[in-house]
Amino acid sequence: MGISNTHLFLSLVQIFILCLLCFMAKVEASNQKLSGFYVFGDSTVDPGNNNYIKTPFRSNFPPYGRDFSNQVPTGRFTNGRLATDYIASYVGLKKDVLPPYLDPNLRIEELMTGVSFASAGSGFDPLTPSMTNVIPIEKQLEYLRECRKRLEDALGKRRIENHVKNAVFFLSAGTNDFVLNYFAIPARRKSYSILAYQQFLIQHVREFIQDLLAEGARKIAISGVPPMGCLPFMITLNSPNAFFQRDCIDKYSSIARDYNLLLQHELHAMQLQLNMSTPDAKIYYVDIYKPIADMIQMRKRFGFDEVDSGCCGSGYIEASILCNKLSNVCVDPSKYVFWDSIHPTEKTYHNIFLASLSTIDFIVNN
């Protein structure tokens, strides 16, 4: 190769490298449209806040976390990561997992990119978290305000105001209000019909969203509830023969469908009002019912063998302290939709994340 050809070749290589670097920079920038990701709710999104409060509703012991990095039980009620961990990693916040807010070792950088305030066992009904002494949704909101104050003190009020506007705030709760509260104990059933109770919960959702808007939030996502009649725990308690008839109990799943529909109508109505008063504010509904129902109904397509019992113990009743280091554990959790009798496996959470990608992309880019 002649000298001129060599120079031409080297120039082309340099141009290619520069183009590649520009492309990579654009990709990285496109994945960092969110300033932060802040999560509220129950065990579906609690990465370990309950480790730091006095409650029996914990999971910071084996076999929980057995497929997490270094097999460390983090306080997540599953064998590995949650859907919110996958989301935090996907949207370019430079973190593979979303940490619990109550972790005393969190740095300002962690608070800035996102944390979870969620508490396993919590719900919208104030009675629900009081049953297991966990963190109410209202208290989780107080933690957000505390977190914001810490950020303002470190980085300045104006910068954090802009940061909040470009962050996503996600809420996942409601299942405990039905499963551990309304269906399990008589107190609320004496005062509310199922429709009245659903409306009672949605009123709390409305108030929570209004509080977030008052804090400056402009991207708010709310998930519905899963097919509750398909939770192994619910099948065990309500099947005419818990050992041999382990089909989903549609009575309870239909209540979940009705609640999700009411919730969607409420969120739509709130969005219409916001379009007039606060046009830059957006509220999104995240469906978790259909992804889980699909995994159960089309188990083989998703690679599952077991859909009506959990991987831990008998899989019929165990959760939290009943799923412990003395429990038998299935060989391959990826063949199970549920890790314990209530909570999904890491694979199920990953599938929920994949099913929600179009919604996540829309939230990020809208």
Active site residues: 43, 340, 343
Centre a 10 Å sphere on the Cβ of residue 344 and count the other Cβ atoms it contains. Answer: 28
Residues 278 and 283: their CA atoms lie apart, in Å, by: 11
Residues 202 and 125: their CA atoms lie apart, in Å, by: 10
Instruction: Report DSSP letters for 337-358, one per residue.
Output: EESSSSSBPHHHHHHHHHHTHH
Q: Which residues contact 81 (CB under 8 A, 6 or more apart)?
A: 68, 97, 346, 349, 350
Tokens 């107190």 belong to residue: 187
Beta strands in 42-167 (DSSP E): 114-116
Nearest CA to 64 out of 356, 360, 320, 331 is that of 320
Phi, psi (deg, nearest 5) at residue 348: -65, -45
> Could you tell me how many helices (H) and strands (E) the chain has, helices first?
15, 7
Cα separation values, 67 from 77, 90, 287, 300, 347, Å: 12, 20, 26, 22, 10
Residues 281 and 271: their CA atoms lie apart, in Å, by: 8
Beta strands in the chain (DSSP E): 37-41, 114-116, 168-172, 219-223, 282-286, 306-310, 336-338
The interaxial angle of helices 137-155 and 194-214, nearest 10 deg, is 10
Q: Which residues contact 222 (CB under 8 A, 6 or more apart)?
A: 170, 171, 172, 205, 209, 263, 267, 283, 284, 285, 286
